Every structure is written in C-alpha cells, then in structure tokens.
Amino acid sequence: MEDAINIHVELHDGSRVTLEAPTDMGLSVMEVMKANELDLAAICGGMAICATCHVEVLQSSELPEPNDDEAYMLETLPHATQTSRLSCQLKITPELDGLVVRLMPEA
C-alpha cells in the first residue's frame, strides 16, 4: 500500500503483530488497532475520556506531546509509565513508521 506505514503492537500474551496503517485517512493508532480486531475496548471512541485505549510506547521516533485531555487521563491511570499514551490521541503520520506499542491493562 502506498502512503502507509507499519506499526508494531505487543499483545497481552507478549506476542507482537505488525499492522499496516494508511497515513492519508486521518486515523489514530487506536482506530488502526480496532480495525485489525485487536483486544482493546476504546469505549469512548477516541474522546480521551475512557483510557481503555492505553498503550505504552516501547519504541518510536519523536511523538507529539500529549494534549491536556490526554495528559490528564494518563495521570489518573494506575499502570501508567513514562511512555504511556492514549492510542486514540496518536494520529497516524509518516513519522510514526516503525512505532512499537504495548497494550496496557484497562484499569
């Protein structure tokens, strides 16, 4: 696929899958994972209010800083790490090629 990147997702069992993500559709990392039927709830649909799309970034080039809504949610998560993000707030761009994230527990 032209205008697509690869992102890698570590699942709850420790295995990794590689997903192809189009860069020209305005999708988020969460939407790409849902489209590939990965095990995440993302119940708020990308509003940054449920945190059920929480991932830990294991490897990336530079990512945009979290916005205020995302930063606030991340602060409330017991399992959050220094590189935690809400995958619904990470837009697929060419710069994200090679991103590696790990699915995190929901609570």
- Name the DSSP letter for residue 20: E
Residue from the set 9, 52, 103, 104 that interacts with ligand FES by CB under 6 A: 52
Does position 44 interact with ligand FES (CB under 6 A)? The reply is yes
Residues 19 and 32: their CA atoms lie apart, in Å, by: 8
CB of 2 vs ligand FES, minimal distance in Å: 28
48 binds ligand FES (CB under 6 A): yes
In three-state secondary structure terms, 84 is: strand
Give least dist CB 73 to ligand FES, A.
6
Task: Sort strands 84-86 and 100-103 into parallel, antiparallel or unpaired.
Answer: unpaired
Q: Residue 106 has which token pair?
A: 């929901």
Q: Does position 55 bind ligand FES by CB under 6 A?
A: no
SS3 63: coil
91 is a site residue for ligand FES (CB under 6 A): no
Q: Which chain residues interact with ligand FES by CB under 6 A?
A: 30, 42, 44, 46-53, 86, 88
